[in-house]
A and B are shown apart, each in its own frame.
Chain A
Amino acid sequence: MTKKIELLAPAGDIERLKVNLLYGADAVYIGGQSYSLRANATNFSIDEIKESCDFAHKLNKKVYLTLNIVFHNEDMDGVEEYIKDVVDAGIDAFIVSDPFIISHIKENYKNVEVHLSTQNGACNYKDVEYFKEEGIDRVVLARELSKEEIKEIIDKTEVDIEVFIHGAMCTCFSGRCALSNYVTNRDANRGGCAQVCRFAFKSEEEKDFTFATKDLNMANHIKEMMDIGIKSLKVEGRMRSLYYLATVIGTYRELIDRINDNTLTKEIMDTLEYRLSRVANREVSTHYFDHEADFNDQYYTGRQELSNQDYLGLITGYDKENSCIILVERNYFEPGDEVEIFTPNKEIYKYKIDKIYDENMNELEVARHPEEVLKLKFETELPKYSMIRLINKNTD
């Protein structure tokens, strides 16, 4: 039986958090300015955590804070005060790997949840039973598990289970990799991971030794995941762009909703998959969910990130006097291009670019300067964080 499931999105800053929630995430996970595994993300101050929680709670949604570094002695200084400040800011849950921190939170705060981080590498039902006895509210499982293994854990433990559904994958077990420490001196388990698994190493053969994985994409298995009782579906990528997040979260939101109301057709699924493919910068796989990850799930050449120029602009306002949407350009476009304008309210408008104006209503031949403020004729005022994506390039 399909049950209500949470769509959990990543946010590296408050604008990304808002976009995620507006595009359909039920909850967002963020990093604070300490103790999070993405030291390169902007991350949130206590005031921003409070603002984020207030914003989310008004929408009846949640915010979780990652506190999942592997603590050294020095990191323990001040962490208890920090946890109190974050609780006071209104956080709904902490994502933690260190069992001392788990026990500290559970002993001192009754109204906040603790989720076991995937960093802890929980792979079996005994692991989950152990942490259930420690009071854990949810377990984010290791990414090396099959559907049958996940189901058995859910059936045997009845603990809320969260799994990753989309984004980059580690080659090694999370938490069991110090390649970054050795190669770059950046501490992988304290937020400094340099993604050494995406480097090419010289081998004794005619080709370099590479072991970077393809990205995860579980779109075709969401119904199965719902059916086996997974509680939360997590998207990776706290440092991803607004456009990526809006597209990925919006797509999974539609997918989940259509599964729930039984309106998902093959044609719609094809469209949703196409949308996800247009923001992917690597090939994708399901990795361990439906097979043992193998030869086909990794790369045999150097770095493989690709990108396209589909993201044309972020809509920032409306010029009522001239009946124009106001946007900030992201990529080149020109009259004749066929685009989609999509909104946080799930509306999608097909649109053919006609005249392009600068912010003073001077007509331009093309839009060629990223970050430039532009206007396009459009009869309807659109909500903030609406975006424009390219569908077909003008070939005239």
Chain B
Amino acid sequence: MKVLIEPITLREKYDNVDGLILSLKDYSVQSGRYYTLEEIKTIKENNKELEIFINMNKNFFNKEIEALEKTLKEIDEINITGILFYDVSVLKIKKDLNIKTDLVWASTYMVNNYKTCNYYYNKGVEYALIGKEITLEEIKEIIANSKIKSMIEVVGLPSVAFSKRKLISNFYSDLNKKSKESIDVIEKVTGETYKVDENNLGTSFYLKKIMNGTVVIKDLFDANAKYIVMKEYGIEEATFYDLVTDTKKYIEGNCLDNNYLEKYKKLGDYTNFFFKKTIYKVKKND
């Protein structure tokens, strides 16, 4: 099982990881940092041994298709491992232009069952970033029943929603104040804090609480998951890279070192939906 990270801090070398997920500026959303293609090329050049995945997970509009085609062709020439997509236009263009680079089905909240993973695998999609709003048991079932190479996000701030609207700008326009790029807001009933970010493409919402999936890494290892994903956004840099280094060692030791689990209890006990099912059928009076 390999360790992928989505880095925020720009480093010359990324040690103790197997690969990087880098969000391409203007082609991706719901990410803590966006990189230009030139920056990605430099990172790749400095980290030749790593698998590089480029995140292009936005919804594309007609006027962006030409640039998308051009960029996909350019990416295809730099020999990276894969491209994360939300919008099937990427899959369509891969086929139309005979793009060789593999794809990762990454439709955020939709990658939730093995039959649809198999559907995409049969369409030539090699990888899937599994939805993080399903349980560990469901994830294991997908891994067991699909040929697609699975990636499971285990650490990071959960990305909760995305809107095309400029919600922070609108909020500050109403207040007649200068807008900000990011604000924290608190949901009144649960008391939970959400981080809201805005850029030129829209507004992203994150739960401002670290998903600590270190406790499920052994299960995923035993289930033959291909990749785990750790996101730096929202985590202090030194803590994050210690975690990454320790996680790599933990996996190399077949996930038997309980000291690792003890040490990373410090990230908190929030395990997102790994052990919690969402309510599906809502009764009238709920």
The contact string, 1 if C-beta is below 8 Å from chain A, for chain B 84-116, is 001111011100000000000001111011111
- Assess the B188–A123 pair: CB atoms within 8 A: no
State whether A73 touches B138 (Cβ < 8 A): yes
Of the residues B91, B110, B170, contact of A175 by C-beta under 8 Å: B110
Does B282 lie within 8 Å of A71, measured CB to CB? no
A127 & B88 in contact (Cβ 8 Å cutoff): yes
In whole Å, how far is B178's beta carbon from the nearest beta carbon of chain A? 12
Cβ–Cβ < 8 Å partners of B185 in chain A? 201-203, 209
* B42 interfacial by beta-carbon distance below 8 Å: no
Residues of A near B73 (CB, < 8 A) are none
**Cβ A207 vs Cβ B163 within 8 A:** no
Q: Which interface residue of A98, A126, A210 has the most chain B CB atoms within 10 A?
A: A126
Within 8 A of B (CB), among A40-54: 40
Q: Identify the stretch in A2-10, A24-32, A183-191, A353-361 within 8 Å (CB) of chain B at 4 or more residues.
A: A183-191
Q: Is the beta-carbon distance between A189 and B110 smaller than 8 angstroms? A: yes
B273 to chain A, nearest CB (A): 7
Whether B183 pairs with A203 at a CB distance below 8 angstroms is: yes
Are B188 and A201 in contact, CB atoms less than 8 angstroms apart?
yes
Assembled-state Cα–Cα distance A200/B188 (Å): 8
A179:B205 contact, CB within 8 angstroms: yes
Q: Say which one of A263-271, A292-300, A307-315, A368-376 lies at the interface with B.
A: A292-300
Contact A201 B88 (CB under 8 A): no
* In contact, A199 and B187 (Cβ under 8 angstroms): yes
Min C-beta distance of A120 to chain B, whole Å:
8
B4 contacts chain A at the CB level, 8 A cutoff: no
Asked whether A294 lies within 8 Å of B166 as measured between CB atoms, the reply is yes
Contacts of B284 in A (CB 8 A): 40
- A298 and B190 form a contact (CB under 8 A): no
Residue A392 interfacial (CB < 8 Å): no
Nearest CB in chain A: distance from B65 CB, A: 6
A110 interface contact, C-beta 8 A: no
B91 x A130 contact (CB < 8 A): yes
A124 touches B87 (CB 8 A): yes
A103 touching B161, Cβ below 8 Å:
no
B interface bracket (residues with beta carbon within 8 Å of A): 35 or more
Q: Which residue of B lies closest to A193 (CB)?
A: B282
CB-defined contacts of A121 to chain B, threshold 8 Å:
59, 86-87
Partner of A131 from the list B88, B164, B184 (CB cut-off 8 Å) is B88
Interface residues of chain B: helix, strand, loop or mixed (majority): mixed
Interface flag for A281 (CB, 8 Å)? no
- Please name all residues of chain B whose beta carbon is closer than 8 Å to the beta carbon of A190 when the two chains form the complex: 278, 280
Most interface-central of B92, B114, B166, B278 (chain A CB within 10 A): B278
CB closest chain-B residue, reference A104? B115
Q: Is B177 an interface residue (CB 8 A)?
A: yes
Contact residues in B for A203 (Cβ distance below 8 Å): 171, 183, 185-186
- Known contacts A73-B141, A177-B161; A99 and B62 CB within 8 A of each other: no
Interface of chain B residues 158 through 215 with chain A (CB within 8 A): 158, 160-167, 169-171, 173-175, 177, 183-190, 192, 194, 196, 203, 205, 207
Given A72-B138, A187-B280, A201-B186, answer yes or no on A99-B116 (Cβ-Cβ < 8 Å): yes
Q: Can you list, as one digit per residue, whether each of B53-81 has a CB less than 8 Å from chain A (1) or not (0)?
A: 00000011111110000000000000000
Whether the pair B109, A189 counts as a contact (CB closer than 8 A) is yes
Complex interface: chain B residues within 8 A of A23 (CB)? none
CB distance from A349 to the nearest CB of B (A): 36
Q: Does A204 contact B (CB under 8 A)?
A: yes
Residue in chain B with minimal CB distance to A170? B163
Interface residues in A137-192 by Cβ distance below 8 A to B read 142, 144-145, 149, 152-153, 171-173, 175-179, 181-192
Residue contact B183 to A204, C-beta cutoff 8 Å: yes
Task: Looking at the assembled complex, report how far the CB atom of A228 sits from the nearest CB atom of chain B, in whole angstroms.
Answer: 14
Q: How far is the CA of A175 from the CA of B107 in the complex (A)?
A: 9
Bound CA–CA A153/B60 (angstroms): 13
- When distances are taken between beta carbons in the complex, the residues of chain A under 8 Å from B160 are 177-179, 181-182
Flag if A186 contacts B174 (CB, 8 Å).
no
Select from chain A the residue with minimum beta-carbon distance to B169.
A295
Q: Do B133 and A187 touch (CB < 8 A)?
A: yes
Expressed in whole angstroms, the minimum distance between the Cβ of B179 and any Cβ of chain A is 11
* Contact partner, A152, options B62, B110, B112, B186, Cβ 8 Å: B62
Nearest Cβ distance between residue A83 and chain B, in whole angstroms? 13
**Do residues A187 and B62 form an inter-chain contact, with CB atoms below 8 A?**
no
Is B142's CB within 8 Å of the partner chain A?
yes
Instruction: Tell me which of B173, B188, B203, B280 contacts A39 (CB under 8 A).
Output: B280
A258 to chain B: closest CB distance in Å? 32
B274 smallest CB distance to A (angstroms): 13
Interface pair B115/A124, CB less than 8 Å apart: no
For residue A205, CB closer than 8 A to chain B, the reply is yes
Q: Does B10 contact A (CB under 8 A)?
A: no
A185 contact set on B, CB distance < 8 A? 276, 278-279
A245 at the interface (CB under 8 A from B): no
Instruction: From the candidates A123, A191, A192, A295, name the one contacting B60 in the complex (CB within 8 A).
Output: A123
User: By the criterion CB–CB under 8 Å, are A76 and B115 in contact?
Assistant: yes
Smallest Cβ-Cβ distance to B209: which chain A residue: A182
How distant is B130 from chain A, measured CB to nearest CB, in Å? 11
B60 and A126 form a contact (CB under 8 A): yes
Q: Assuming A73-B115, A73-B145, A293-B165, what are 17 further A-B pairs, CB within 8 angstroms?
A: A39-B281, A70-B110, A71-B113, A71-B115, A123-B59, A127-B60, A172-B163, A176-B109, A177-B109, A178-B108, A178-B160, A181-B278, A182-B207, A187-B133, A192-B279, A203-B171, A300-B170
What are 17 A-B pairs with beta-carbon distances under 8 A? A39-B282, A72-B112, A124-B64, A126-B60, A126-B88, A171-B165, A175-B107, A183-B192, A187-B279, A188-B109, A191-B282, A199-B188, A203-B186, A293-B165, A295-B173, A297-B165, A298-B167
Please provide the 8 A-B residue pairs with the shortest distance between their CB atoms, ordered closest to farther.
Answer: A126-B89, A187-B278, A201-B185, A202-B186, A177-B161, A130-B92, A100-B119, A172-B163
